[in-house]
Structure 1
Amino acid sequence: MKTIKLFLFLGMFGISNIHAQKISGKVTSNNEALPFVNVYLKGTSIGTTTNENGFYTIEDVVPGNYTIVASFTGFKNVEKQITVEGNVTIIKLELEGALSLDEIIITGTLKAVSRLESPVPVEVYSPAFLKKNPTPNVFEALQNVNGVRPQLNCNVCNTGDIHINGLEGPYTLVLIDGMPIVSGLSTVYGLSGIPNSLIEQIEVVKGPASSLYGSEAVGGLINVITKLPENAPLVFADSFISDWGELNLDIGFKSRIGDNTNLITGINYYNYSNPIDDNKDNFTDVTLQDRISVFQKWDFKRNNNRLFSLAGRFFYEDRWGGEMQWKPSFRGGDDIYGESIYTTRYELIGNYQLPINEKVNFQFSYSDHDQNSVYGNTEYLAKQRIGFGQLIWDKPIKNHDLLFGLAARYNFYNDNTTATTEADKIVIPSIFVQDEIKLSEKQHILLGARYDYDDRHGSIFTPRIAYRFKPSKDDIIRLNAGTGFRVVNLFTEDHAALTGSRDVIIEETLNPEQSYNVNINYLKKLYTKKGQIYTFDTSAWYTYFTNAIIPDYDSNPNQIIYDNLDGNSTSKGFSLNIDAVLGSGINASVGATFQEVSQNENGIKTRQILTERFTGVWSVSYKHYPTNLTVDYTGNVYGPMRLPTLGDLDPRSEYSPTWSIQNIQFTFTGLTNLELYAGVKNLLNWTPNKGNPFIIARANDPFDKNVDFDPNGNVIATADNPYALTFDPSYVYAPNQERRLFFGLRFTLN
């Protein structure tokens, strides 16, 4: 963390000890005047801000003892005990910068390096980011990350996945503490239940990372890094409720066992049990959920500061959505439609540094996922077990920073569908190597390659190259190129393939997808004479896919057809992020992404379904230090995307409109160890049913009992079904939840 010295000069003048006094002084940073700094007396409403030349004056101060606070967004607060009695006092204080390019990251290269030094562009999101718009899970929290979109895949059960730069969720690998523990089935459910209070930071890499992380890291990856026990609060709790009846509770504590063991325990509980049908289609607007997650992390102190940590998580969720009359007794029947999902999940993560002179770590993870679900009268029972282990040897030598790795991944998957005739069991061994070469102080180049062997598909080779040029301490240019691959299991990643609302057609043996990617990134930090700080982060990318597997919703409205694309698929675009500290307690962040994701088959170019052309996100925060009140205004905007309609007669719009979700929050921090917050989500009251006659097709006949078909299986238009539709809940692009109030409380004891 960059350290910035701040000198606060206080002049205290007075007429006598019984009259009000005046405090004045100057605030500087690096011996330069720092304007718009908040200076106030703690526990009072007396305060001011420095002018353009860094000077301030506080009038009418009664003589006595005070704590004076100098606070400027981007720096840690500085406090000093003072006595106001007319004497001039000069105080030297030191602040630590909070908005910096020096955040420590590990995702891009599997090494802990500063963000500025990494040859791979990595975006970092702190707990402060999560607090600006409190959510019950990480999935929803990512809605304000530029180029990242949480996509709901079903109007009924509200399962979803994460899109990065327009690519579908199966292209995104999600990790916890660097381990690929969230994948397959758990991509749908695994981002729920990670206690936000235990998150140290979230790192996002956009673009292929298969050379380090293997299959699934094709579109990008998200690494959720949890706190070290020694850095966690002694006790913490965070809970909020909404006027829709949602309740979210995070609680936890850290403890010490003996002299060498620290641990943290976190529990997340979420409950929503209030069926609401504001759009009057007789279906729940939001899925009802009852979820608990227990997380524990152990850190063992060893000789020579060698690492050894273990973490585990238990997750259970009962969720359902459907017709308002649905009860558990209707589960699996064809009288009242409901989608009911019971999920039980166990996870284990470990990192052990071998007791040898070389720096060699053994990292491992294991997950066990059991899903019992019904979609109407279609039963889907699935089990998935994933074991992962790797040895990493970190070997720096002159001008080279080498990394060698041996890995193996065990996948077990079984379900009750006709497509799975026997359990899928496979072990995929891998070897990878990486070398970051120091060409000069300003130029580094990174070379990497990975070899995987899959019995089903043979050898898979994924190289990459990254070039980093650092013309100054606050500028960096990165050029990255590489390949990615993905082995597909349809039933672990496409909710529409499970619901039974469409028939699944697999036309051929599906080969692994292969991608080729290039992107360029420029990062710039700028300081103005007025004390403002700006960080600019811009990227452009191009990704080319062969053997792409894209579900075909268009050829037959009653089917999803899967095959390897006879052609190619591309994703290209550019993005810009700007973070700014504007002074007077104001900081802001804004981002925009423009992209085109399409496929070309038989000379016909088609825009990918459920992919927006542009997206924007923003966050504006203002803190009024004398009253300890912070206002956060966050939001996003999405451009039109093509939607899965059910044929030419479907009256629903083929494209979504431009839409936006916006939120506001007020936080009070004037109480010891406590924060109170309240706000409004979805200020514009936007829901996708606006402008559409309905969202769920044939909601009045979810089992298609009154649908007529011709001999070829096509729907016949009738008086009862004039649009020739079947029941289908997959027409979804935005949450159905309307405007709502929320109230919350945070307690922290350090």
Structure 2
Amino acid sequence: MRLLIILQLLLFIITGISAQNTVGGLVYELKNDNREPIAGANVYWSGTTIGISTNEEGRFQLPWTGQNSKLVVSFVGFESDTIHITRPGLAYEINLSQDKLLNEVTIAARQPGAHISRLNPITTIEITGAELCKAACCSLAESFETNASVDVSYTDAATGAKQIQLLGLSGTYVQMLTENMHTSRGLSSVYGLDFVPGPWMESIQVSKGAASVTNGYESLTGQINVQYKKPATSEALFVNGFASSSGRWESNVNTGFNLGEKWRTAILAHSSADAVKNDHNNDGFLDEPVTRRNTFMSRWDFRPNSHLFTQFGVKVLQEDRTGGQKVFNRNADPFAQDAYGIIVDSKNLESFFKTGYTFENDEDKSVAIVTNFTRHEQESLYGRKYYDATQNYFMGNLILSSYISDAEKHKYTTGISYIYDDLAESLTGDVSNMSIPDGSRTEHIAGAYFQYTYTIPEKLTFLAGLRGDNHNLYGSFFTPRVHVRYNPDEHFVIRLSGGKGYRTPNALAENNPLLATSRSIIISDNITLEEGWNYGVNLTNYIHIGHREMTLNLEYYRTSFINQLIMDLDRDTREVYFYNLDGKSYSNVFQAEASMEIFRGMDMVAAWRINDVKVTTNESLQRKALQSKYKGMLNFSYATPLPRWQIDFTTQFNGPGRIPTTAGNPTVETRRPEHFSAYQIHNAQLTRYYRNWSFYAGVENIGNYTQNEPIIDAASPFGNNFDSSLIWGPLMGRKFYFGFRFSIDRG
């Protein structure tokens, strides 16, 4: 409490002595005498490249140089406006009117669906809604098919669980956020990528390297932040339907509307099912589990005036997942049938509350409180092993933002945070060959942080942050992070980053799909906090070729672990070990990417990534198993004028990799080679647009490539050699799909 009072007093003192060197305000549309914020409007000084887009609340802020007086505001479908600015420090309110000649406008170029933020000192890829519509984006797990930085793969061949990889490391080292609030943490991270419906997402931000200290200490390789549709920007009505040749169907509905001048709300609903038992390789096991999933979200926005806002909401999910052998009956006693079955029933509840205040006549100073709560329940069966777990997670964050002397040059963000994380686990059944200590634990983490930003407009941004946290199980530790963004000229950006990260490992909770094997699981009883450093450099060059611009991006990132939870599949063919790192573990990732509009309507993205990831397993430093040495991507997207038609084609190039040894298995049929070969995946989609409708059809994995015999000894799942963990390639072959979208914008 004393710290809170001191921080508040400091904020108010600085408020009285600070200068005003910016121009800010609100861009909105007047509908039925109500102000509707316009997110994404372009605001820039006439005759310059100095500009910004309005945020989700329609607000903007630009540096004042004293050299320009004409501020231009524009947005597609609205008449542009030019305002003469006489002095900084005032809050301008700009009302845009819809363009009456919109139907006669011809679009000469389109905005890239994914691009690197030009202003953020942290390397951040902005994935827009338009990019998400280039593929069958049914969930967050399927949102990165046209992205070269993020990989999504199966964790095993039986449960359908998926994992993200960023900078060569698994998704446990990526901080998953929903509107800058923690989500998919611990237990819920295993199947959580399927819990976020694709049509609900407004955009995704993927940041690489050490992240900001304001969001915690956990990020080691980066952050993935999902932005849902919001009460202020949601359609009046949106309906989506989807069906595929694999037997999958889904529907999504959302609506947003105003309740008077101060209240807004949005309601989102999702229902989906994988209803067909597919077994294309005839090994007796389902290629993907049969699932049923229902999700509902209600969110609210209260804005009594232009300086105060409050947002809150709740999301509930229930999923039933049934996998294993095709003849398994989930309604029968698993010990009374010979069939091997997998049942994973999940219930998830998420809620959040945000409130913030921006000081009058000075929008550079604000105070906010952000809280969120998640409860995840999982009841699961793997063969004849029962794994039940519950996790309750709460985080509160008090954030103060202001500046020192000059808002244009010296800004800071400071605050305090608290985390409560309670995990309860139960493992019963046929577990006689397991050596697993009870992973139940309760965490209390109190932290404080300070982040300073120094800016020379259009040239340099220096961001340095430090946070300290006290953990009831692991004591106190500090997290330093630094980011630098430098512009030698308007066409070239250099970014440097470095920082530390920590993570609480949850050996069984985050790896419980390993129970779908006959391997003995042996977990050390002294697992400690994971700790590592991340360093990176990013070079972005904007090259003008005629009237078009090509973006060339080169980057290198290194992650080096001081301590890491090691999952060792190399020590013994019939066992998997979890223990603290004893030796070296690091990841070196180099990526080159080029994107541009080749000709009118035709966008191209080409990328190549090299993964040099090594870890000490079985007392030997060796290449990380089940990971490709390189990854390439080539994407073409063509849209006719207006647009009416759009076609997207993506090729993914996956390099060879190492497979843990299976030499200890008794027969040739139960052994696998020690390396897998390179392979390619091709996807295509065709979309037809109408005024309120769009229809799309596509095919995934055109070449019908799948990993051969992904399950070892599938014919004897209760035997000693059954193993579904050695997965490096796709499990589903060629798949056709069809869908539609219907939307009515707010009138």
Same fold per TM (> 0.5)? yes
Equivalent of residue 726 in structure 2, options 720, 731, 734: 731
1:591 partner amino acid: A
Q: Is the partner of 1:551 in helix, strand or coil?
A: strand
Task: Tell me the residue number matched to 1:469.
Answer: 486
Task: Tell me the residue number matched to 1:720.
Answer: none
Equivalent of residue 505 in structure 1, options 486, 500, 522: 522
Higher deviation after alignment, 268-277 or 327-336: 327-336
RMSD over aligned Cα, in angstroms? 2.4
2:147 aligned with 1:136? no
Give 1:748 deviation, angstroms.
0.9
Q: Distance in 1 between matches of 2:556 and 2:328?
A: 48
Structure 1 residues 42-53: aligned runs within 5 Å: none
Q: Distance in 1 between matches of 2:130 and 2:410?
A: 36
2:411 partner amino acid: D
From the superposition, tell whether residues 497 and 450 of structure 1 become closer, same or farther in structure 2 (CA, over 3 Å).
farther
Task: Tell me the residue number matched to 2:126.
Answer: 124
Task: Tell me the residue number matched to 2:475.
Answer: 458
Higher deviation after alignment, 654-663 or 619-628: 619-628
Task: Tell me the residue number matched to 1:80.
Answer: none
Equivalent of residue 343 in structure 2, options 340, 343, 347: 340
Higher deviation after alignment, 560-569 or 384-393: 560-569
**Alignment check: 8 A CA contact 1:571 1:598 kept:** yes
**Alignment check: 8 A CA contact 2:212 2:465 kept:** no
Give 1:489 deviation, angstroms.
1.1
Task: Tell me the residue number matched to 2:509.
Answer: 492
Task: Tell me the residue number matched to 1:145.
Answer: 147
Task: Tell me the residue number matched to 1:662.
Answer: 682
2:732 aligned with 1:741? no
**Alignment check: 8 A CA contact 2:113 2:128 kept:** no
Task: Tell me the residue number matched to 2:8.
Answer: none
Q: Is the partner of 1:71 in helix, strand or coil?
A: coil
Higher deviation after alignment, 191-200 or 179-188: 191-200
**Alignment check: 8 A CA contact 1:293 1:313 kept:** yes
Give 1:363 deviation, angstroms.
0.4
Gaps of 5+ in 1: 7-64, 76-97, 104-114, 708-725
Task: Tell me the residue number matched to 1:400.
Answer: 410
**Alignment check: 8 A CA contact 1:394 1:403 kept:** yes
Q: Distance in 2 between matches of 1:185 and 1:655?
A: 31
Give 1:265 deviation, angstroms.
1.1
Q: Distance in 2 between matches of 1:457 and 1:367?
A: 23
Task: Tell me the residue number matched to 2:178.
Answer: 176
Q: Distance in 2 between matches of 1:508 and 1:249?
A: 45
Q: Is the partner of 1:550 in helix, strand or coil?
A: strand
- The TM-score with structure 1 as length reference comes to 0.80
- The TM-score with structure 2 as length reference comes to 0.81
Q: Distance in 1 between matches of 2:359 and 2:44?
A: 39
Task: Tell me the residue number matched to 1:567.
Answer: 583
Give 1:135 deviation, angstroms.
2.6
Equivalent of residue 703 in structure 1, options 718, 725, 739: 718
2:691 partner amino acid: T
Q: Distance in 2 between matches of 1:71 and 1:655?
A: 49
Higher deviation after alignment, 580-589 or 281-290: 580-589
**Alignment check: 8 A CA contact 1:568 1:601 kept:** no
Q: Is the partner of 1:119 in helix, strand or coil?
A: coil
Equivalent of residue 392 in structure 2, options 385, 390, 411: 385
Give 1:67 deviation, angstroms.
5.2
**Alignment check: 8 A CA contact 1:246 1:270 kept:** yes
From the superposition, tell whether residues 498 and 3 of structure 1 become closer, same or farther in structure 2 (CA, over 3 Å).
same
Q: Distance in 2 between matches of 1:440 and 1:242?
A: 50
Task: Tell me the residue number matched to 1:522.
Answer: 539
Task: Tell me the residue number matched to 2:594.
Answer: 578
**Alignment check: 8 A CA contact 2:114 2:131 kept:** no
Q: Is the partner of 1:612 in helix, strand or coil?
A: coil
**Alignment check: 8 A CA contact 1:574 1:594 kept:** yes
* CA offset digits 1:389-423 (Å, max 9, x no partner): 10010112322110102001100000113845484
Q: Distance in 1 between matches of 2:136 and 2:145?
A: 11
Give 1:364 deviation, angstroms.
0.7
Q: Distance in 1 between matches of 2:564 and 2:217?
A: 14
Aligned length: 632
Q: Distance in 2 between matches of 1:186 and 1:421?
A: 18
1:684 partner amino acid: G
Q: Distance in 2 between matches of 1:209 and 1:625?
A: 39
**Alignment check: 8 A CA contact 1:490 1:497 kept:** no
* CA offset digits 1:136-192 (Å, max 9, x no partner): 211122233223111211211111211111102211221111001221111122222
Give 1:645 deviation, angstroms.
4.5
Equivalent of residue 444 in structure 2, options 427, 448, 463: 427
2:672 aligned with 1:652? yes
Q: Distance in 2 between matches of 1:598 and 1:404?
A: 37
Task: Tell me the residue number matched to 1:72.
Answer: 108
From the superposition, tell whether residues 100 and 749 of structure 1 become closer, same or farther in structure 2 (CA, over 3 Å).
same
* CA offset digits 1:119-139 (Å, max 9, x no partner): 111111011111111232111
Structure 1 residues 713-732: aligned runs within 5 Å: 726-732=721-727
2:643 aligned with 1:643? no
Q: Is the partner of 1:388 in helix, strand or coil?
A: strand
Q: Distance in 1 between matches of 2:467 and 2:620?
A: 34
Q: Is the partner of 1:567 in helix, strand or coil?
A: coil
Give 1:654 deviation, angstroms.
2.0
Q: Distance in 1 between matches of 2:211 and 2:322?
A: 35
Higher deviation after alignment, 370-379 or 271-280: 271-280
**Alignment check: 8 A CA contact 2:209 2:498 kept:** no
Task: Tell me the residue number matched to 1:34.
Answer: none
Gaps of 5+ in 2: 1-40, 47-100, 429-435
